[in-house]
Amino acid sequence: MKGKVSFLARLQAENRIQIPVEVRWRYKLEPGQILRLEIHPVSGFSSEEFHSRLQLGGRVTVPWEAVWALKLKQRLMLRVLLFVGEEK
């Protein structure tokens, strides 16, 4: 199944984002899987795209380069675009 999923998430400690359980179940996302994401601060127009590994708790880590480029702070709301079904 290929597609895009959009959801809101809060930037957590250590620059992590929680993927909602419904999204993980619907697309059968497994820990260790490499995901392609694009993040947009809710209050801004810029965005960053990156790949990240899904952790056991359903979180992904945002690279520090993206955090720096978007000037993100903890607890900031982000609009996340997850591209699913693109693994090789």
Cβ of 72: how many Cβ atoms within 10 Å? 19
Q: Taking the complete model, does pTM exceed 0.75, yes or no?
A: yes
Which of 44, 48, 43 lies closest to 60, judged by CA?
Answer: 48
CATH architecture of 3-84: Beta Barrel (2.40)
pLDDT at 87: 59
- Kindly tell me if the per-residue pLDDT of 24 is higher than 90: yes
Which of 57, 59, 4 lies closest to 27, judged by CA?
Answer: 4
pLDDT at 1: 57
Average pLDDT, the chain: 93
Distance in Å from the first CA to the final CA of the chain: 13
Average pLDDT in the 66-79 region? 94
Taking only the tens place, the pLDDT of each residue in 28-65 is 999 999 999 999 999 889 999 999 999 999 999 999 99
